Amino acid sequence: MTLSASAVQKPGEVAARESRRALLHAALARVLPADSILSDPEATAAYECDALSAYRVKPLVVALPSTEEQVAQVLATCHEHGAPVVARGGGTGLSGGALPHTDGVTLSLARLNRVLEIDPVACTATVQCGVRNLAISDAAAPYGLYYAPDPSSQLACTIGGNVAENSGGVHCLKYGLTIHNVLRVRGYTISGERIEFGSGALDAPGLDLLAIVLGSEGMLAVTTEVTVRLLPKPELARCILASFPTVEAAGHAVAQVIGAGIIPAGLELMDKRMTTVAEAYVHAGYDLSAAAILLCESDGTAIEVEDEIHRISELLTGCGANRIEVSRDEAQRLRFWSGRKNAFAASGQLSPDYMCMDSTIPRQRLAEMLRAIEAMEKRYGLPCVNVFHAGDGNLHPLILFNANEGDELHRCELFGADILETTVRLGGTITGEHGVGVEKLNSMCVQFSAEEREQMFAVKRAFDPTQLLNPGKVIPTLHRCAEYGKMHVRRGGLPFPELARF
Amino acid sequence: MLATHAYLQHLIDAIASARARREPLQLRGGGTKEFYGGLPRGTLLDLRPLSGISSYEPTELVITALAGTPLATIEDELASRGQYLAFEPPRYAPGGTLGGMVAAGLSGPSRARLGCVRDYVLGATILNGRGELLSFGGQVMKNVAGYDVSRLMAGALGVLGVLCEVSLKVVPMPPVVRTLVFSHDEAAALGALAALNRQPLPVHAGAWFDGNLHLRLAGSEPAVASACERLGGYALDAAAAASWWDALRDQTHPFFTAPGHDLWRVSVPPTAPPITLPGTQFIDWGGGLRWWRTPAAAAMVRERAAAIGGHATCFRTRDAARDAFTPLADPLRRLHRELKLAFDPDGVLNPGRLYPEL
């Protein structure tokens, strides 16, 4: 699966690539100091992948600008030389969105890491794109404020990357995704022109371009500065840990809580195998006899939380929860969460490799989905553990495999593709929060028709006529989909069965 | 189901014919917001026949309906299950549709705290200017597969596509709602609203008019009760409060209906200082929206808005030219033109409604 660009290259090609590298390096040296350009393959190796490490490509050059002006000049230079540009933040992406282009420049924005302004009156923070997600909350903490979206990589991921991926987090059911918490994005077009989406007001004139730039995986513009909304820190948060005899009962309980008009701050479900793995890893105090456990958090004023915890506990008991524990203090609350937050790391202990899927399904199809995954475990001969953002239907099955063992990697890929196709058939989506990147390009052929993909390409060309910003990501070509050989499926049927498909 | 709906073919044929004749189409739902934006022109395309709720599962917090469905039908159906549209879309007259609501992209008093139409759009099926039926987004809360084209439709005034079906996130109605009134001048009201931003209180909306600041609190009984105690003020009775907020949301308040000057919608950072203009003002969105009835020239209103980081829309006017929106500068202006071409290369969908050149 490793995509190595330099594996099979003829001597002529190697020479041509080296001369392009030298040319680009020289051109960039006119706009950047020497210590801001890497082109030695040993130095660029650190940039050859993001957190989807199975895919690796060495870029021609890595540019590390320190200012917006330098970003603009790097883009203008690349534009002039027709060189693809891949913007990169913390490199924590899970779908290969920051995978370098073999003939391109990787634009690392990590040095643009200044918090420019915390406005405690307007409750906003204006930061450079390379500021880490958690650093925003740290800077806002003295004012009793925080930035709500909390992807699990929040210690390392940057706000620029969050904008590119429209990142979520365990609290997004109540507090929304990145798109619900960003007011303004400043960036640059591929030609190096400054552009601003959104504003300090609650809307901006014209089309809502902020809505399409968010989640566009660095293909429309390069983000350099972001203004986010800050929220007052809730006075109190408490977490309920509930055990259920079946996954269905846990799923039903989630529907009952939401049906009763309660939107908890967090609502997470783990199946028995995941619970066992997580418990062994962090000793969170999980009930190992439960078929599924639910973590349900309430936050707000003390009086609000007390009322909500009481109502939720009654609902969960009514739905067959056979053990309910409510965190007594902050230490216990964090301990309840520690197992969930370390679910991926714990799975890493269980198996040499794992592949994390990211489908979102209508919640009522959960039991059906889990049964389908069980059948797939037998079909592909690989185990799978499940964690689930139960409130919003975002499922993370982790397929466990060993890449060095026979055809396990291949079987794992087939398993993953099968999960995604089942997701689309159940009315869901192939990615809830990790993005398409390169990882889910094939599955995009299943979720979107040729016309829909072409419309997305047309949007891309409107922003980036030269198609140099992160080319080859997110939207698969007609040709690629034809090779993948699987047709677009929607909600159980093809919308126009009479139309020819290719 | 949309794909088999008889009226869909009519829409596809209408687009094909408009392209062939090079004659634009004016898309029309209930026609309740025709005053808004540029003057509609071209052959009328009635979207109301594409009507009906496709699916609604309250525990999923999602409703999907054909775009011609009356907004009132949607609101009634949601209310019967204790849910509602948190962004409080305005109902300027009876008969507005779901599609019109999304296309106009307007949100009511709760916008500053609870978000706007776009924030609640989960998916949309559209016909683009080539007559191709395209679906983006979906019926789930979290979805990052491809560009978020469905949210781009919110507020686009139909210039990119004909909305056919829309999925929205819906939320439970708060069990308790209470309105407090405080006697404040404009500056004190804006100061009080700004101070509230930093407190974790269940304030859903704040608005000021004629010396009175209205705050709406919503949530669980103990949360609202304790917040009311903390804030003080004068509590309005429930019926009077509901009709006061509706009069602002639907613009039936005398401020909006009395004959007089043009109505301007001035969108600014909520904590921006007062704007000085001749005329009268109603402050909405917790300070973020300053409605003005003013005789001032467009250039002056726009300049005052821009000076504090905002923009101004001429919302209702008797001027036939209807220069509604703040003009854009390059590169945004160019990008708008390119996007229009990407969706509607022959310019048949609602030309001139958003900007003259789109």
Residue B41 and residue B131 share a domain: yes
Test A448 with B146 for CB contact under 8 angstroms: yes
Amino acid in position A222:
V
∠ CA B88-B89-B95, nearest 5°, is 130
User: Residue B111: which domain range?
Assistant: 2-172
Terminal C-alpha separation, chain A: 25
Q: Of A78, A86, A69, A58, nearest to A222 (Cα)?
A: A86
Touching check for A187 and chain B: CB below 8 Å?
no
Asked if the structure places residue B349 within a domain, the reply is no
Confidence band of A497 (pLDDT split at 50, 70, 90): very low
Give the pLDDT score at B358: 95
Average pLDDT (B91-100) is 98
What's the pLDDT score for residue A100? Answer: 98
Contact A277, A346 (CB under 8 A): yes
pLDDT of residue A486: 73
User: Distance (Å, rounded) from C-alpha A447 to C-alpha A489?
Assistant: 6
pLDDT at site A492 = 38
Task: Using the predicted structure, report yes or no on whether residue A22 has a pLDDT greater than 70.
Answer: yes
| pLDDT score for B136 | 97
The pLDDT value recorded for residue A502 is 33
pLDDT digits (tens, 9 = 90+) for A328-361: 999 999 999 999 988 888 888 888 888 899 999 9
CA distance, residue A208 to nearest chain B CA (Å): 6
pLDDT tens column, A91-115: 999 999 999 999 999 999 999 999 9
> Domain for residue B328, yes or no?
no
How many angstroms separate the CA of residue B155 from the nearest CA in chain A?
7
- Interchain proximity A463–B338, CB inside 8 Å: yes
Are B194 and A121 within 8 A, CB to CB? yes
Separation between Cα atoms, residue B259 and residue A421, nearest integer Å = 59
Contacts of A202 (CB under 8 A, 6+ apart): A183, B111, B112, B116, B267, B270, B285, B288, B289
**Strand order across the A124-128 sheet:** A115-119, A124-128, A222-229, A182-188, A194-198
Q: Which residue among A201, A440, A463 sits closest to B288, beta carbon to beta carbon?
A: A201
Contact B142 A172 (CB under 8 A): yes
A301 CB within 8 Å of a chain B CB: yes
Put simply, whether A262 touches B (Cβ < 8 Å) is yes
Of A318, A349, A366, A331, the closest CA to residue A238 belongs to A331
Q: Residue A240, SS3? A: strand
Task: Please identify, among B198, B223, B249, the residue that sits at the C-terminal boundary of a domain.
Answer: B249
| Interchain proximity A234–B200, CB inside 8 Å | yes
Is 50 exceeded by the pLDDT of residue A453? yes
Share of chain A above pLDDT 70, in %: 95
Half-sphere exposure of A333 (CA within 13 A, CB side): 12
> Are B164 and B241 in a shared domain?
no
Q: Phi and psi for B209 in degrees, rounded to 5?
A: -155, 135
Average pLDDT over residues B108-131: 98
Asked if the model's pLDDT at residue B303 lies above 80, the reply is yes
Q: Which domains does chain A have, with CATH numbers?
A: 11-108 (3.30.43.10), 115-232 (3.30.465.10), 236-345 (3.30.70.2190), 354-484 (3.30.70.2740)
Same domain for B280 and B224: no
What's the token pair of residue B291?
């409605």
Interface test with A, best of B143, B201, B217 (most A CBs within 10 A): B143
Which residues sit opposite B203 in a β-bridge?
B217
Q: Are residues B141 and B13 in the same domain?
A: yes
pLDDT of A282 above 70:
yes
Cβ within 8 Å, pair B336-A206: yes
Residue B339 lies in a domain: no
- Alpha-carbon torsion angle A464, A469, A475, A478, nearest 10: 70
Say how many domains are in chain B.
3
For the segment A119-133, the average pLDDT, to the nearest whole number, is: 97
Q: Are residues B22 and B119 in the same domain?
A: yes
In a domain, B106, yes or no: yes
Phi first, then psi, for residue A226 (nearest 5°) are: -135, 135
Q: Which of B195, B217, B249 is the last residue of a domain?
A: B249
**Paired tokens of A246:** 């079946």
Are B167 and B269 contained in the same domain?
no
Taking an 8 Å cut-off on Cβ atoms, the answer to whether A201 and B341 are in contact is: no
Share of chain A above pLDDT 90, in %: 83
B309 part of a folded domain: yes
* Residue written as token pair 């009226």: B7
- Provide the residue type at B207 as one letter: A
Tokens of B241: 């409060």
Tens-place pLDDT, residues B217-270: 999 999 999 999 999 999 999 999 999 999 999 999 999 999 999 999 999 999
Across the interface, whether the CB atoms of A199 and B311 are under 8 A apart is answered yes
Task: Give the CATH number for residue B121.
Answer: 3.30.465.10
| Domain match, B210 and B241 both | yes
Runs of H (alpha helix) within B30-183 = 71-80, 98-104, 111-114, 117-120, 149-152
The per-residue pLDDT for range B166-186, each reduced to its tens digit, is: 999 999 999 999 999 999 999
Q: Tell me what pLDDT residue A494 has.
A: 40
pLDDT band of A11, cuts 50, 70, 90: confident
Contacts of A237 in chain B (CB under 8 A): none
Q: A2-16, A35-49, A68-82: which has the minimum mean pLDDT?
A: A2-16
Q: Is the pLDDT of residue A247 over 60?
A: yes
Per CB-CB distance under 8 Å, the chain A contacts of B339 are 207, 459, 462
Domain termination residue (choose one: B120, B149, B172): B172
Q: Give the pLDDT score at A8.
A: 58
Q: Which residues contact B229 (CB under 8 A, 6 or more apart)?
A: none
Contact A258, B59 (CB under 8 A): yes
Q: B interface mutation test: which of A174, A207, A430, A441 has the most B CBs within 10 A? A: A207
Same domain, B64 and B127: yes
**Quick check: B305 pLDDT over 70?**
yes
Residue A248 burial by Cβ neighbours in a 10 Å radius (0-12, 13-18, 19+): middle
Residue B181, φ and ψ in degrees, nearest 5: -120, 135
Amino acid at position B184, single letter: H
Mean pLDDT along residues B198-210: 94
What is the C-alpha to C-alpha distance for residues B19 and A478, in angstroms, rounded to an integer?
26
Give the residue-averaged pLDDT of A22-42.
97
Q: Which positions ≥6 away from A357 have C-beta within 8 Å?
A: A395, A396, A397, A398, A399, A416, A419, A420
Tell me the nearest-neighbour CA distance from B285 into chain A, angstroms: 9
| pLDDT given at position A490 | 57
CATH number of the domain that residue B205 is part of: 3.30.70
Q: Phi then psi for B276, rounded to 5 degrees?
A: -105, 115
Exposed / middle / buried, residue A196 (Cβ in 10 Å: 0-12, 13-18, 19+): middle
What is the average pLDDT across A141-165? 95
Pick the closest to residue B112 from B316, B280, B294, B283 (CA basis): B283
- B306-349, pLDDT tens digit by residue? 999 999 999 999 888 888 999 999 999 999 999 999 999 999 99
Q: Is A462 at the interface with chain B, CB within 8 A?
A: yes
Q: How far apart are CA A281 and CA A270, in angstroms?
A: 15
> Are B197 and B299 members of one domain?
no
- Rounded to whole angstroms, the Cα distance separating A71 from A49 reads 21
Assess if residue B345 is contained within a domain: no
| Cβ separation A212–B151 shorter than 8 A | yes
pLDDT for the residue B246: 98
- For A457-484, the pLDDT digits (tens) are 999 999 999 999 999 999 999 999 999 8
| Residues forming a β-bridge with B70 | B97
B17-69 pLDDT, tens digit each: 999 999 999 999 999 999 999 999 999 999 999 999 999 999 999 999 999 99
Residue A170, pLDDT score: 86
Q: Is residue B357 part of a domain?
A: no
Q: Residue A46: exposed, middle, or buried by beta-carbon count in 10 A (0-12, 13-18, 19+)? A: exposed
Give the span between the Cα atoms of B62 and B71, in whole angstroms: 15
Domain co-membership, B285 together with B245: no
Amino acid found at A395? L
Contact across the interface for A208 and B152, Cβ inside 8 Å? yes
ipTM of the complex: 0.97
In a domain, residue B282? The reply is yes
Confidence band of A485 (pLDDT split at 50, 70, 90): confident
Helix residue spans in A224-267 (DSSP H): 247-259
Q: Is residue B36 located within the same domain as residue B166?
A: yes
Whether residue A499 is predicted with pLDDT greater than 50 in this model: the reply is no
**Cis before B331 (ω within 30):** yes
Please indicate, yes or no, whether residues B109 and B32 belong to a single structural domain of this protein.
yes
